[in-house]
Amino acid sequence: MSLGEVFGHEPAVRMLRQSLAEQRLVGAYLFTGPPGVGKTTLALALAAAAACPNPRDDPFDACGACASCRAAASGQHPEITLIQPAGDLTQIWQFWDRDQKPAGALQHTLQYSPVIGCKRVYIIERAETLTLAAANSLLKALEEPPPYVLFVLLAPSPARLLPTVVSRCQVVRLLPVPVETLGAWIEAKAQLDHNMALKVAEFAEGCPGHAFRLAGDSRLRQEMDRILDIAMQLPTATPLSCLRLGDDLRKAAAAIQGMLGLETETGTESITDSSSPEDSAQEPARERAGRRQIAIVIELLAGLYGDLLSLNVGGPAARILHVDRRSQLAEMAARRSTDYWLTSLEALLEARRRVDQNANLPLLVDGLAMRLAVG
- The span from the CA of 68 to the CA of 54, in Å, is 9
Judged on CB neighbours under 10 Å (0-12, 13-18, 19+), 64 is middle
Task: Tell me if 342 contacts Zn ion by CB under 5 A.
Answer: no
Pick the closer one to Zn ion by CB: 16 or 174: 16
DSSP 61: B
Pick the closer one to Zn ion by CB: 47 or 127: 47
- The CB-based long-range contact list for 195-201 (8 Å cut-off, 24+ gap) reads 195/321, 196/221, 199/224, 199/300, 201/177
Give the nearest distance from C-beta 135 to Zn ion in angstroms. Answer: 33
Cβ within 8 Å of residue 240, ≥6 positions away? none
Give the nearest distance from C-beta 47 to Zn ion in angstroms. Answer: 12
Give the up-direction half-sphere exposure of residue 247: CA atoms within 13 A in the CB hemisphere: 4
- The span from the CA of 194 to the CA of 167, in Å, is 43
Pick the closer one to Zn ion by CB: 50 or 182: 50
Q: Using the rule CB under 5 A, give the single segment among 60-68, 278-286, 311-319, 354-362 that binds Zn ion.
A: 60-68
Q: Which of residues 160-199 bind Zn ion (CB under 5 A)?
A: none
Options 63, 110, 175, 237; binder of Zn ion; rule CB under 5 A:
63
Options 21, 66, 118, 349; binder of Zn ion; rule CB under 5 A:
66
Pick the closer one to Zn ion by CB: 66 or 110: 66
Question: By rule CB under 5 A, what string of x and - marks binding of each residue 37-56 to Zn ion?
Answer: ---------------x----
Pick the closer one to Zn ion by CB: 62 or 345: 62
Ranges assigned E (strand) in 56-98: 80-83
Give the nearest distance from C-beta 50 to Zn ion in angstroms. Answer: 11
Pick the closer one to Zn ion by CB: 69 or 348: 69
What is the secondary structure of 236-287 as a DSSP string? G--HHHHHHHHHHHHHHHHHHHHHHTHHHHH-SPPSS----TT-GGGS-HHH
Q: Residue 109, Cβ neighbours under 10 Å: how many?
A: 16
Cα distances (Å, whole numbers) of residue 126 to 33, 106, 176, 205, 364: 11, 17, 17, 19, 34
Pick the closer one to Zn ion by CB: 79 or 299: 79
Options 1, 69, 295, 348; binder of Zn ion; rule CB under 5 A:
69
Cβ within 8 Å of residue 264, ≥6 positions away? none
Give the nearest distance from C-beta 52 to Zn ion in angstroms. Answer: 3
Give the nearest distance from C-beta 78 to Zn ion in angstroms. Answer: 15
Give the nearest distance from C-beta 46 to Zn ion in angstroms. Answer: 13
Give the nearest distance from C-beta 20 to Zn ion in angstroms. Answer: 13
Cβ within 8 Å of residue 326, ≥6 positions away? 311, 316, 320
Pick the closer one to Zn ion by CB: 71 or 201: 71
Q: Under rule CB under 5 A, how many of the chain's residues touch Zn ion?
A: 5
Give the nearest distance from C-beta 73 to Zn ion in angstroms. Answer: 10
- The span from the CA of 149 to the CA of 138, in Å, is 13
Query: Where along the sequence are the contacts to Zn ion (CB under 5 A)?
Result: 52, 62-63, 66, 69
